[in-house]
């Protein structure tokens, strides 16, 4: 069983194309980030790289595709439409699971209007009733559980929260007989730890990270997959981190390794490898020396 995991492509409208009415909201903060803090340049090639990413994923023979949020920069209709067009070659497959990120709910209107759900709600199929959590039963050996932890926030806040209700449901799902004997993987947008092993800040991280880790660990989750943090890393279990945590980082951010992960589950255990974008060739290729790649969990 092979899972391709990518995140945070951030298809972003140019500052010149943002309607002025859209600026009467938190999007003014996003506009300032684009104009003054270099974010527009960071994602200048996002569309070209996303097209290359889609082409590469089609060639690596993944059994399932996982996306963990932030398709867009400012949750504009035009950004969602462009992201859908770029991802269309893989979007219509039944073997894909995706969740929104905080930039996909950048302003309350984006969540209230259901723009993300109209374009990408089909990514949230579930084999068990009443999602979230979303549950995908992958072959005979694995279960992928995905949570919605993103929400609209105030101007100064970009944090996430799973919430007490979803945590309760997660515990029930992890104990469901349908998951018995399967290796359990958990996906969300926010990371409960930074690459150093420390929790993220209050206004950027997951507010209930400790509760989430406790519930996931008690339920037998072996691997937690997320986005949000644009630097790629693998954080092995140990100390205050009870579960191995990994993020491919942003697939399109120019200041980081633009990469995605392949997770292979088989008799030998759970193995991770990475593929990264090569600007010279305009495509993705193997990254054998990627830090943290290799065996993440031994055979059962």
pTM value is 0.93
**Structural domain tally of the chain?**
1
Q: What is the pLDDT of residue 165?
A: 96
| Structural domain span for residue 292 | 2-297
Give CA–CA dist 180/184, Å, rounded.
9
pLDDT in tens, 2-27: 999 999 999 987 655 556 555 545 55
Among residues 203, 265, 262, the alpha carbon closest in space to that of 228 is found at 203
Q: What is the pLDDT of residue 36?
A: 45
pLDDT in tens, 60-85: 999 999 999 999 988 888 899 999 99
Give CA–CA dist 122/124, Å, rounded.
5
What is the arithmetic mean of pLDDT over 196-214?
Answer: 96
Q: What CATH number has the domain bearing residue 208?
A: 3.60.21.10
Which string of b and e fits 166-177 if b means at least 16 CB within 10 Å?
bbebbeebbeee
pLDDT in tens, 39-56: 667 888 999 999 999 999
Assign 3-class secondary structure to 184-227: EEEECCCCCCCCCCCCCCCCCCECCHHHHHHHHHHCCEEEEECC
pLDDT in tens, 146-158: 999 998 877 678 8
Q: What is the pLDDT of residue 251?
A: 98
């Amino acid at each position: 069983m092979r899972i391709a995991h990518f995140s945070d492509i951030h298809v972003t409208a140019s500052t010149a194309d943002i309607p002025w009415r859209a600026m009467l909201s938190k999007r003014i903060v996003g506009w300032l980030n684009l104009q003054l803090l270099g974010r527009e340049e960071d994602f200048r090639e996002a569309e070209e790289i996303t097209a290359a990413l889609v082409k590469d994923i089609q060639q690596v023979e993944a059994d399932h595709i996982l996306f963990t949020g932030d398709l867009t920069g400012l949750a504009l209709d035009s950004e969602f439409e462009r992201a859908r067009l770029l991802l269309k070659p893989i979007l219509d497959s039944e073997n894909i699971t995706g969740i929104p990120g905080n930039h996909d709910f950048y302003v309350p209107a984006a969540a209230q209007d259901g723009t993300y759900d109209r374009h990408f709600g089909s990514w949230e199929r579930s084999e068990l009733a009443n999602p979230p959590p979303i549950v995908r039963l992958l072959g005979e050996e694995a279960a992928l559980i995905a949570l919605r932890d993103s929400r609209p926030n105030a101007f100064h806040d970009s944090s996430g929260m799973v919430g007490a209700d979803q945590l309760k449901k997660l515990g029930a799902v992890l104990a469901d007989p349908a998951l018995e004997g399967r290796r359990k993987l958990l996906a969300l947008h926010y990371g409960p730890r930074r690459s150093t092993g420390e929790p993220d800040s209050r206004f950027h991280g997951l507010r209930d990270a400790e509760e989430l880790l406790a519930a996931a660990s008690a339920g037998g989750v072996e691997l937690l997959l997320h986005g949000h943090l644009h630097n790629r890393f693998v954080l092995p279990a140990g100390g205050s981190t009870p579960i191995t945590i990994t993020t491919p980082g942003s697939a399109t951010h120019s200041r980081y390794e633009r990469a995605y992960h392949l997770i292979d589950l088989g008799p030998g255990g759970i193995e991770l490898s990475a593929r990264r974008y090569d600007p010279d060739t305009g495509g993705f290729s193997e990254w054998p020396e990627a830090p943290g790649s290799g065996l993440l969990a031994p055979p059962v």
